Structures are given as C-alpha cells and as structure tokens.
Amino acid sequence: MIQRIQSIYLVLALVGAVLLFMFPTATFDLVNPQTNTIEATASLDLVAKTTTYDETGAIPTFVGQSSVILLIIAIVLAVGILGSIFLFKNRMLQMRLVALLLVLSLAYIAIVFVSSVDGCAEFLTASYPIWTANIHYGVGTFAPLAIAVLLFLAQNAIKKDELKVRAADRLR
C-alpha cells in the first residue's frame, strides 16, 4: 500500500532529488590574496542559472562535463524514485529498483567529491591565476547523502514488508 513507511522514505528521497536541481552543489569565492577580499563568486550547478559580472569580466556558473553526467544521474534518480513509489504491489521489483537507485546515488556522491568540485576549483584558479578559490559546499552536495540513507531505509522496509507477506502466506 502507498501509505507504508517505505513510501514515506521514497517521498523524502524524491524531495532530496528535487533539491539537487534547485540548489548549487558548491559555490566558490574567488579571493584576491593580496587584499584578502572576495573579487567574484561562481557556483557549480546541475543547470546553469545565472552569470555574475564584476569589473574583470564574467564569472560563469560552471557546467562542465562531469556536471552533465551529474545532471543525467539526478534525472534518473528523480524519475526512478518517483516510479518506485508506485511499485508497491510488486515489492521484488521495487526492491531491485531501489537497490539500483542506491548505487546511482553513491555514484553521484563519488562523482561530486572526486571530480566535479575539484575540477571546477582547478578551472577557476587556472582561469584567474592571481586569485584563490574557496569552496563552500551546498545543499546539492549533502542531498545525495540523505537520498542514499533514505533509499537504504526504504529498501530495508520493503524487505521487511516482503517477509511479513511471505509469513502470512505460509500461515494460510
């Protein structure tokens, strides 16, 4: 049934997946080390939203190759979680789909921490060599961690539900 606890976990995971599109993964303050002032800011978003301008030119919202991969994984996560909510009648398929989504969520986390944030920081410091980039992690960095935990909890709840149904069938 749709009101079971795993559905609540999946809805919360879906909210986390939607947050990935709304908030930046990381923001970067480009600091002039001589004056110790912030000269410009940039952000790593799944979808480029704005470009900020300062006296030295445009500082773009960074959307690189790894961000495109992150965007694809985020879309698959959101659609997969939404689909798994409505698979409550087929618990085995729901459990497999949630396990796949958990692996995708962990891959998203790995890509964010291994390549995206570091790659963006290296790009900005190469483009503006006199400045240093200070990284501030955003909601888009921590939402996948919450999604992974919620998917794990949902999978355990689905497994417990399946065991209860099998035990009830055995008693008949």
Domain range summary for the chain, segments of one domain joined by + = 5-171
Cα→Cα distances 165→100, 106, 152, 154, 168, Å? 23, 30, 20, 16, 5
Other Cβ atoms less than 10 A from the Cβ of 150: the count is: 25
The distance in angstroms from the start CA to the end CA of the chain is: 21
CB 148, CB 106: distance < 8 Å: yes
Asked whether residue 65 carries a pLDDT value surpassing 50, the answer given is no
CATH of domain 5-171: 1.20.140
* Confidence grade of residue 84 (pLDDT, cut at 50, 70, 90): very high
* Confidence grade of residue 46 (pLDDT, cut at 50, 70, 90): confident
Cα→Cα distances 61→38, 72, 123, 166, Å? 16, 18, 12, 52
pLDDT at position 56, please?
55
The model's pTM:
0.82
The mean predicted confidence, pLDDT, of the chain is: 82
* Confidence grade of residue 49 (pLDDT, cut at 50, 70, 90): low
What value does the mean pLDDT take over residues 157-172? Answer: 82
* Confidence grade of residue 124 (pLDDT, cut at 50, 70, 90): confident
What value does the mean pLDDT take over residues 14-26? Answer: 89
Instruction: Among 24-33, 43-52, 99-108, 157-166, name the one with the lowest average pLDDT.
Output: 43-52
pLDDT at position 153, please?
96
Other Cβ atoms less than 10 A from the Cβ of 9: the count is: 23
How far apart CA 118 and CA 81 sit, in angstroms, is 28
* Confidence grade of residue 44 (pLDDT, cut at 50, 70, 90): confident
Asked whether residue 172 carries a pLDDT value surpassing 70, the answer given is no
